[in-house]
Structures are given as structure tokens and as C-alpha cells.
Amino acid sequence: MAEAYSFPKWYPWTVSEIVRWPHRSDLLRAEIEKYIVNELVDVFCLQEIDEVRLKDYWNPFFKQYNYTSIFKLRPGKKRDGLAVFYRQERYLEEI
């Protein structure tokens, strides 16, 4: 979920800290790393990725494991979109 949609007041039944980016990013990173380090996944598709977080968090994170990304913003005046991260060396050409 993009940060633009993660206001604790929108999720009153949830502890506000759980909705905030630092907590969610740690959980997401740990879950994704389990698949990367065991070489179980060549392609990850993440939706509702904030464009700013793509550049300052997700691209550096995946790059350290030799993944390349493709990103497409949602139509309209949205700040988020779909990101596809893939191991380029597993393909003959870039996607």
C-alpha cells in the first residue's frame, strides 16, 4: 500500500504504528528477502508502490540482489503505480 493511502485514521481498528511506513517496510523487506536469498523467485510484482519510495527504497534494495525494475504510474494524478523487479541475468534480453 502506497504511503498516500496509509493514514492510521483510515484504519481505526489497527494499531497506528503498524500502518506506518517504517514498520511495514521492515516486514515487507524481510518477507521478500526470504525468497531472494533462497533463489526462489526471479520476478516480483508490487502494486501501489509510491514513486518516491521506488527511488529511495525499493530500487536500492532490489539492486543489491541484482534485480532490475520496470515501473508504471497509475493513470491520473496518482503518485503510485506497479513495479516489476526481475533478475535480468535470467533473461536473454531486457523485458
The full set of domains in the chain, from first to last, is 3-90 (3.30.1370.190)
Cβ proximity of 23 and 17 under 8 Å = yes
| pLDDT tens digits along 42-60 | 999 999 999 999 999 999 9
Nearest to 78 by CA among 46, 49, 53, 57: 49
- pTM of the entire predicted model: 0.82
Cβ proximity of 95 and 84 under 8 Å = yes
Q: Which residues does residue 49 pair with via DSSP β-bridges, in sequence order?
A: 81
Residue whose entry in the numeric block shows the C-alpha cell 535470467: 90
Residues of the chain with pLDDT under 50: none
Amino acid at 19: V
> Distance between CA 95 and CA 88 in Å, rounded?
8
